[in-house]
């Protein structure tokens, strides 16, 4: 009897020892992203699904809106405390790569740990910076112009087409304002983040940056002057927010855009993956089309890009577990169904096929729009230089001076060129 008790105790100790050992191996990964409440809800559901399938890995969420996201990430970066997995954008990534804040995923890609099967090489390359893999695209995205079909019908105006020019766009916004007594749109186009200007410059046959990212990529300042004169024209008409209203609403999220309250007939500063958030906020389906083209344009300036990238911090202690999460995100069908097109049209062909077959009205509209945008897109954007954020800040500083009429567009063109070239030459 005594021997049996002794054996039982030893077995119990062994089981407890194994249990403690397994518990000690559990890994926690911090995952940071920005977005709307709708994106947050979807992401939390995917995290729950992942933790069910991988009980040895916990995901600790760090979520905020776009405003303030990069300040927090930069603070964490300075303290060597970046989350293990960071939602990123291609336009900001070069600086983090330069400062060695992100894990080089190339070895994991080559040995198959990072699974990119069923993803076209051209889409895998969206996470490649200077010949090294630093992220995976969550999906494909394109700048989009949204419009309220009901308000267009009420005004007796045809829906905007991809063939309309910038002059057509200005006339359209003014006409909507005159007919409906509301804003044609809150803004003419995406401006303070350089988005609209980037397309404008490309349509003039240039680029915002030169090939090595050490200076602006266009020589004629008349390009900037014409863009800002067009901006002032529509701003002075009252068909878009005034300069003070723009400043007051600088941090307005997608859910608060005037189109969601039928106080504007169009929304011009968003991306294709934001249709769901706009529809949920406005309570109605919206139309979607491309940004305008330039009359007699020299090149197609509109483009596709990765909606965002999932990257891994260089200081993570658990790179393989972080890549396990990335693989799950990319390839798991159920996760793909939950995420939908909120972070762009999926890059993984099997996930994309399932979503397209069973697409909601919103997701089907996004799938159709990406096909439309691809048919009207020029070359892919090159990776922005490391000092991109400083250039954007300089652009914004000059932009506000021009729309507040503290300086002329001609003076703005000169000031922006001097500031941008100085930043780019000394980055």
Residue 6 belongs to a domain: no
Residue pLDDT, tens place only, 228-267? 999 999 999 999 999 999 888 877 778 889 999 999 999 9
* Rounded-to-integer distance, Cα 131 and Cα 64, Å: 31
* Rounded-to-integer distance, Cα 196 and Cα 224, Å: 11
Residue 22 belongs to a domain: no
- Residue of 39, 36, 91 whose CA lies nearest to 252: 36
Q: What is the DSSP letter of 376?
A: T
What is the extent of the structural domain holding 284? 143-302+386-425
Lowest mean pLDDT among 1-10, 336-345, 385-394: 1-10
Instruction: Please state the rounded mean pLDDT for residues 358-369.
Output: 89
Lowest mean pLDDT among 3-17, 184-198, 339-353, 373-387: 3-17
Residue 4: the pLDDT is 53
* Rounded-to-integer distance, Cα 12 and Cα 17, Å: 8
Query: Does one domain contain both 105 and 158?
Result: no
Domain containing residue 316: CATH number = 3.40.190.10
Q: Residue for token digits 């240039």?
A: 206
Residue pLDDT, tens place only, 25-51? 899 999 999 998 889 999 999 999 999
Count of domains forming the chain: 2
Residue 12 belongs to a domain: no
Residue 143: the pLDDT is 93
Q: What percent of the chain lies above the pLDDT cut of 70? A: 94
Q: Where does residue 422 rank: exposed (0-12), middle (13-18), buried (19+ CB within 10 A)?
A: middle
> For residue 19, is pLDDT > 60?
no
Query: Does one domain contain both 257 and 397?
Result: yes
Q: Where is mean pLDDT largest: 59-73, 158-172, 178-192?
A: 158-172
Cβ-proximal residues to 34 (8 Å cutoff; 6+ apart), any chain: 63, 64, 65, 66, 69, 87
Residue 232 belongs to a domain: yes
Query: Does one domain contain both 107 and 36?
Result: yes
Residue pLDDT, tens place only, 272-324? 989 988 999 999 999 999 999 999 999 999 998 888 999 999 999 999 999 99
235 Rama class: left (phi>0) / alpha (psi -120 to 50) / beta: alpha
Query: Does one domain contain both 217 and 85?
Result: no
Query: Does one domain contain both 190 and 206?
Result: yes
Say how far residue 20 (Cα) sits from the centre of its chain.
42
How does residue 162 score in pLDDT terms, banded at 50, 70 and 90?
Answer: very high
Query: Does one domain contain both 188 and 44?
Result: no
Residue 356 belongs to a domain: yes
Query: Does one domain contain both 62 and 101?
Result: yes
Residue 256 belongs to a domain: yes
Query: Does one domain contain both 147 and 131?
Result: no
Residue 13: the pLDDT is 46
Query: Does one domain contain both 149 and 44?
Result: no
* Rounded-to-integer distance, Cα 49 and Cα 45, Å: 6
∠ CA 418-380-199, rounded to 5°: 50
Query: Does one domain contain both 283 and 399?
Result: yes
Query: Does one domain contain both 83 and 189?
Result: no
Query: Does one domain contain both 194 and 253?
Result: yes
Strand, helix or coil for residue 109: helix
Residue 19 belongs to a domain: no
Residue 358 belongs to a domain: yes
């Amino acid at each position: 009897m005594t021997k049996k008790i002794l054996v039982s105790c030893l077995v119990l100790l062994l089981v407890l020892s194994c249990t403690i050992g397994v518990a000690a191996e559990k890994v926690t990964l911090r995952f940071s992203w920005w977005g709307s409440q709708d994106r947050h809800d979807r992401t939390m559901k995917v995290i729950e699904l992942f933790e069910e399938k991988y009980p040895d890995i916990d995901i600790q969420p760090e979520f905020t809106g776009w405003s303030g996201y990069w300040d927090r990430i930069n603070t964490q970066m300075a303290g060597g405390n970046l989350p293990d997995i960071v939602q990123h954008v291609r336009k900001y990534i070069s600086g983090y790569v330069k400062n060695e804040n992100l894990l080089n995923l190339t070895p994991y890609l080559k040995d198959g740990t990072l699974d990119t099967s069923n993803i076209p090489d051209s889409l895998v390359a969206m996470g490649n910076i200077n010949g090294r893999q630093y992220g995976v695209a969550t999906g494909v995205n394109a700048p989009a112009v949204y419009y309220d079909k009901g308000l267009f019908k009420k005004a007796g105006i045809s829906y905007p087409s991809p063939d309309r020019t910038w002059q057509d766009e200005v006339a359209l916004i003014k006409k909507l304002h005159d007919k409906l007594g509301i804003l044609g749109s809150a803004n003419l186009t995406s401006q303070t983040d350089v988005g609209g200007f980037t397309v404008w410059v490309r349509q003039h046959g240039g680029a915002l940056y030169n090939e090595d990212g050490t200076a602006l990529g266009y020589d004629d300042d008349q390009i900037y002057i014409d863009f800002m004169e067009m901006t002032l024209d529509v701003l002075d008409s009252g068909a878009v927010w005034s300069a003070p209203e723009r400043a007051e609403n600088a941090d307005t999220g997608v859910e608060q855009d005037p189109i969601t309250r039928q106080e504007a007939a169009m929304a011009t500063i968003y991306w294709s993956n934001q249709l769901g958030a706009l529809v949920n906020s406005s309570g109605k389906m919206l139309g979607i089309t491309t940004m305008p083209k330039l009359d007699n344009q020299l090149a197609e300036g509109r483009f596709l890009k990765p909606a965002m990238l999932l990257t891994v911090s260089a200081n993570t202690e658990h790179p393989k577990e972080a890549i396990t999460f990335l693989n799950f995100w990319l390839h798991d069908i159920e996760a793909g169904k939950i995420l939908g097109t909120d972070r762009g049209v999926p890059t993984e062909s099997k996930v994309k096929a399932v979503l397209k077959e069973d697409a909601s009205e919103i997701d089907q509209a996004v799938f159709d729009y990406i096909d439309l945008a691809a048919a009207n897109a020029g070359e892919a954007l090159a990776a922005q230089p490391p000092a991109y954020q400083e250039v954007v800040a300089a652009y914004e500083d000059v932009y506000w001076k021009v729309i507040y009429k503290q300086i002329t567009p001609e003076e703005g063109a000169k000031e922006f060129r001097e500031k941008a070239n100085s930043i780019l030459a000394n980055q």
